[in-house]
Each structure stands twice: as structure tokens, then as C-alpha cells.
Amino acid sequence: MFIKQRESLVGLVLMIGALQVHAASVVNIETESSENGESKGTQTQIVTIDENKVRLDYLGAESEKSATTSYLLTLNAGKNWILGDQKDNQFYCAKVDMKDFFRQIGKIVSRIDTLANPEFSDMKVELLVEEPGPEMLGYATTHIRIKTTAKVKASLLTKRFEYGMNKVDDIWYTKEREVHPAKQRWIEALTHSGYEQLDQLSSGLRSKIGGPVLIHNSAMEVTNYKENKVETYGREVRVVSIKELKSSEVAEGTFTRPDCKKIKKGQTKDAAKTMFKEGKLTL
């Protein structure tokens, strides 16, 4: 379901905020997902930053980075990203403009809407809790709990659909680190896809957060009213460690522009969508 994928993508935007401006850092992040009570495993991401350069490596089942590790790389503070992914023993790469990427997703959903003619209602983003949190990784934190709800009715040919979403986010953020400009660009893209309802939910969540996120736990229920069926999705994202470095200490080759087979614009979109579905664009 697109709502599930889109809501989980917000996590990536939030966690990038743990990066520091004008300092080199290596941030280790773990993401654990579940569906209907069953674990979907844990993913590890390594985020390396040096001034305007940011690289996100997706280790998966690997214990360390290798020449075939999937990654996203920006050399200009997120104006565009280089997406690298391996397929059929060939390493492909392409530049991805995140604004264009999210607009394309918005267009796809809008085209689906033209057929399904959905009716949204009861869309709310509520702040339930705001309180001092414990110290994490040496930083003072604030804990907030946010509840997001929405209902949608749609019809396709002779079939009628009716869904409800109830999502609770527990977030611990700190005001003691700066926000990287790459994060600001990503937020701008994420909240301006052109799909009004989902942009509204994303903007509503982001407006409640006062700083970089160190832990983000989500629990979501999606109810199919016609079939009287409820599906649950869980996601726990946590910054495991933040290591400050000098630029000279960043591993050699981390920000080297890759030498790989270029793919066309249409293939770039397909690769980006694949990474999106696999959770590689979510933290």
C-alpha cells in the first residue's frame, strides 16, 4: 500500500537530521520492521558526512561495506543524489533529483486516483505527548508521541474499497545538533509531491518535531472495512552511534564519484522505485 510506503519514508528524512553541518561524522542506524506481528528483519545503514557530502550505505545482511553495497551519494548537499545498485553482476548508477522522484510518485498515485476516485476524510495529525526524554548518545532529548489518522473510500469498476489508517509515532529528538541542508532539501521534496493528502500528512508530522531524531518508533494499523480485516506494521529506527571525525579521517574513496554503467532516465525511476519498495529509501 502506498500510504504505508510513504509514511515509512518519512523516517529517512527524520534520521538524516542526526548529521552535523561542517563536521565529518559517521552515523550507524538500525531499522527493524514487522508486519502483522512477524519480524521482517533488521537493516543497517551507515551514513557518512563531510560538509556538503553525504553517503548512505545499505549493508543489509552484509557486515561491512563492499564494492557492491547499495548506496545513495550526494556531493552537493542534496541538490541531487547518485543512486548505486547492483543487478546481474553489473553495478549501475544514476543521478536522482529527489524533487522529481517524489513528483513522479505523486503523479503515479494521482493517475490511480483518477480511476479509483478516492474520498479522504478524518485526516488528523495530533500531538499526544511532549516531555523531556532521557540522555541518548550524550545528547539531551525530547520525547513526543504523534497520532495520525485518515480514512479513504474509493471505487474501481464495480468494486468498492474503504480503508482506515491509525498510526502512532514515538520520537526522541535532540536540539543539540544542527540540521544538515540535505535534510531540508529532502523534506521539501517529500512534502511537495503534488499528492495533496499525503503531502498534508507528511507536513503535519514534520511540523511537530523540533530537532534531529535519534529514535523513531512507528506502529500503524490499516483497516479494510469491507473485508473486516486489520493489518499492522511496525518500524523501529534508532541511531546506534555517532562518531565525529576530521575530514582527513574519512575513509578514502567514500565520496569518489562512482565509475559504473549509467542508466537512462526511465531506468533510473525504476531503480529508485525498486529501492523504495525494498525499504532502501527508508530508515
Query: Would 13 be classed as within a structural domain?
Result: yes
pLDDT digit string, tens, across residues 101-154 = 666 665 555 554 444 567 788 888 899 999 999 999 999 999 999 999 988 887
Query: Would 93 be classed as within a structural domain?
Result: yes
Split into its structural domains, the chain has a count of 1
pLDDT tier at 88 (50, 70, 90 boundaries)?
Answer: low
Question: Domain containing 21: what range?
Answer: 2-277
**How many residues in the chain?**
283
Range 91-97 average pLDDT? 68
Output phi, psi for 110, to 5 deg: -65, -40
Query: Would 283 be classed as within a structural domain?
Result: no
Query: Would 172 be classed as within a structural domain?
Result: yes
Closest CA to 190 of 55, 261, 100, 111: 100
Is beta strand 261-262 parallel, antiparallel or unpaired with respect to 90-96? Answer: parallel
Closest CA to 197 of 281, 98, 124, 283: 124
Query: What is the identity of the amino acid at 62?
Result: E
Residue that the C-alpha cell 476524510 belongs to: 121
Output phi, psi for 124, to 5 deg: -140, 145
Query: Would 171 be classed as within a structural domain?
Result: yes
Closest CA to 157 of 115, 191, 124, 120: 115
Query: Would 203 be classed as within a structural domain?
Result: yes
Residue 281 has pLDDT above 80, yes or no: no
Give 87's DSSP letter: E
Assigned C-alpha cell, 148: 495520525
| Dihedral in degrees, nearest 10, Cα atoms 265, 270, 273, 274 | -140
Query: Would 282 be classed as within a structural domain?
Result: no
